[in-house]
Amino acid sequence: MLGYYATIAAASFRRNKAFAALMVLVIGLGIGASMTMITVFHVMSGDPLPGRSSRLFVPVIDPRPLDRGHVANAPSSDGSFTWPDAMNLLHAARADRQAAMAGGAVPVRPMQGGALPFYETGRYATADFFAMFGTPFLSGGGWTAEDDEQRARVVVLGHALSRKLFGDASAVGRTVRFKDADFRVIGVLDDWQPQPLFYAPMDSRAYGRSDQFFLPLQTALDLKLDFVGRLSCWGDTGDGRTSDQCSWLQFWVQLDSAAKMDAYREFITGYWREQQLHGRLPRPVDARLYGLMAWLTHQHAVPDDLRLQLSLSVGFLLVCMLNVMALLLATFLRRSGEISVRRALGARRRDIFLQLGVESSVIGFAGGLLGVLVALFGLWSVRQRPGGYAQLAHMDTRMLLATFALALIAGALAGLLPAWRACRIAPALQLKTQ
Amino acid sequence: MPHSPLLASLGRHKLTVLLMVMQVALTCAIVCNVAAILGHRVTQLGLPSGVVEDELVMLESISVDANTDPLMRHDADLAALRQLPGVRSVAAVDALPFNGNNWSNGITLVPKGDVRLAATAFNGTPGELATLGLHLVAGRDFLPSEYLPMGTATDWDGINKVPATIVTRALTQQLFPGQDPLGKVIYPGDGPVRIVGVVDHLLRPTLDESAGNEYATVLPMLPDGGSITYVMRTAPQDREHVLQAAMARLAQLDGNRVLRRPQTFAQLREDYFRRDRTMISLLLAAAFGLLLVTAAGIAGLASFWVQQRRRSIGIRRAVGATRHDILRYVQAENFMIVSGGIALGVVLAYALNVLLMQHYALQRLPVFYVPLGAIALWLLGQLAVLGPARRAARVPPVVATRSG
């Protein structure tokens, strides 16, 4: 019977070619536009560190002073730590692993020839960084907590920088010159580009970049290497990096069980209370612990503009569906005569409903095919944009299937109301009016 | 034109009409909000920076050698750059509009008082005002005796000692409304700073949604950190040439540094607004797409109805209706549907706006966008229905005699 309905549907579309084409086009555009945005959203809100993210947490302690009056530039609580707090938590070592880190940028001096120095961005971190984030090493490894304490001049290079400096030869054991200090290369990372760069403060460049060197935080501070990222200060004891009135460090911990999570939350709450006894951290105690994915949401890792675009494309799909609904209803009602004859000949409402449902599904299916093409084109044009998340915008099998599913559901939904209305056409009355 | 048959006819297609009305309403609501966002973005795109944009080029120099005095290095570089053919003036600065290097200070009017607002500190060598082409509307440029080092190595303590500042008009209007700002004292750091001049415009290095995009203080402080931006003013046609010559000259003078981001101010502005331009083109595409789909729907439905009613149109023609009457009838019908949609759409537009304001940093929907959107939809509806309406008007009276 379904086959027969499909034949009727095809015949009906042949009668109104332009009309059918219009409906397919409209639903195709709607599906295509929304699937483009949903796919971009899907890849951007993915897990940057699958398998590990559930054990990684950001403790948040708010070191800012109490608000006084209208403070227009009070640093917002972005989870940044002051140097003393970060070092206290680091040395307390209550988590399975913990690391403090900050963004850095250094002039790199190529050893050979008279090439000009170039600028490279990387991360100043403490020893646990590598083990905690499970960074893949091509050769060598990270440094130890002792190296941190002794301000060792060691460095781990990213794959790209290693190639740039040493070609295909092994870099481990070689020396690189950052600014005016020599560093011994102790490890080279394999291509490691978590997207977004979750451990850095979230900003407009969180996607599409990666760190090309890693060296001990204390060493960087000692050598006065340049930091990048936000430094928020308050109070009047100066703007120093080691001041307890300037926040600028990121702090991450690894906690392997729920019990440890609770224990750690209690620990930082206790730490906050204890510091208050020393006259620090004057804000009401409210220590928080965010999981990695929750942290990304909290920090608006996916830019607001993109979420706005997503809502817009869904609104567009909605208008397209209303449009197709109205057009389908008009075609169905125009065939009132035909329908009432079928009803008079004994077709049940259910049969009419099914027949018209098949018709709208055919529209939905054709629209879905067109929608996939539109979405592929949309994603291609997103990829043509420079930088950022643009390069991530690819459609995988799951999204492809989701596109078809969305098209079929949209088609069926758009057909539901018109079909319901049409199957309520009374058999006899319509015959009389003809 | 009597309207009762029109309403009666629409009444026979209640559900279809309702769907069309909802579609027009949703389109109206979305397009009004999209237009408002577009308007805001385009305004930001066109904000005057206050500097002579087509005459400026810049490049960053980052010193690798920590042993030389930055002030002396900058002086030597500036002297060399000044000699280049085509360079009219040059200055070493830390911040520029759009360059992202935003050092903001809370401004108080009494020592340790309440912070009134946060303003960006623009610091540079003598000649910064002339090089950037800032337009003084009151007061004077800095005196040579007023300059002092920023004190980068000592927690930027120059801010506590600097004697004078030139501020934007926007800042004076916020701090001293209706008063003469010249000679007034502000506290960006610990010490008093006297306002000696006012410029008409100067945008901060990063913009945001708030009203304070022009809260800026130019300070006579010499940048003395490892990283510096050299800005050169030149004739617009010489920009590329000057930039290349400056790169070569600085590399020759001291190869022990990183030279990066050589660019014209126009490129800096373009890069800063790249995301906004993407957003603007997407918003435009969305608005056009919506209007197009709605127009196609209106036209499709109207031509469908015309086909369906050929016989009744023929009868009306046969009993004396003119072509004009038929045309007017189809147009009036469309006007009714679109008007219903707009009435509902205006309510929806404000509801959507409230929703958007809760989730994104968006402003309240400015009033004039709603009538604008309504007029656009009315016009669009009439345009879309014109073809089918004319086809209806061409239906000959003889159709009435044929069986339907």
Question: What confidence tens digit (pLDDT) does each residue in A395-413 have?
Answer: 778 888 887 788 778 877 8
pLDDT at A430: 55
Beta pairing partners, B149:
B222
* Residue matched to tokens 């398998």: A51
Mutation target among A109, A230, A319 for the B interface, most CBs of B within 10 A:
A319
The rounded distance, in Å, linking the Cα atoms of A130 and A136 is 8
Name the closest residue on chain B to residue A331, using Cα atoms: B304
The reply to whether residue A72 touches residue B62, judged by beta carbons under 8 angstroms, is: no
The reply to whether residue B258 touches residue A116, judged by beta carbons under 8 angstroms, is: yes
The reply to whether residue B227 touches residue A421, judged by beta carbons under 8 angstroms, is: no
Any chain A CB within 8 A of the CB of B65? yes
Average pLDDT, chain B: 89
Check residues A321 and A234 and name the one with the higher pLDDT: A321
Encoded tokens for A275: 């510091």
Average pLDDT, chain A: 85
Query: Counting beta carbons within 10 angstroms of the beta carbon of residue B20, is it exposed (0 to 12), middle (13 to 18) or buried (19 or more)?
Result: buried
The pLDDT-based confidence of A112 (bands split at 50, 70, 90) is low
Length of chain B: 404
| Tens-digit pLDDT profile for residues B2-35 | 556 667 777 777 888 898 999 999 999 999 999 9
Give the DSSP H or E segment for A28: helix A17-44
Any chain A CB within 8 A of the CB of B10? no
Encoded tokens for B86: 């085509």
CB contact at 8 A, B129 and B226: no
The pLDDT-based confidence of A72 (bands split at 50, 70, 90) is very low
- Whether ipTM tops 0.95, in short, is no
The reply to whether residue B257 touches residue A304, judged by beta carbons under 8 angstroms, is: no
pTM (two decimals): 0.82
Name the closest residue on chain A to residue B64, using Cα atoms: A179
The reply to whether residue B23 touches residue A109, judged by beta carbons under 8 angstroms, is: no
Beta pairing partners, B90:
B232
pLDDT at B4: 60
Check residues A238 and A314 and name the one with the higher pLDDT: A314
The reply to whether residue A318 touches residue B260, judged by beta carbons under 8 angstroms, is: no
* Residue matched to tokens 């608006």: A300
The rounded distance, in Å, linking the Cα atoms of B81 and A73 is 37
The rounded distance, in Å, linking the Cα atoms of B66 and A106 is 13
- Which residues, numbered 194 to 213 in chain B, qualify as contacts with chain A under a Cβ-Cβ cut-off of 8 Å? 212
- Shortest Cα–Cα distance, B399 to chain A (Å): 16
Handedness of CA A298, A301, A302, A307 (dihedral sign): positive
Any chain B CB within 8 A of the CB of A119? yes
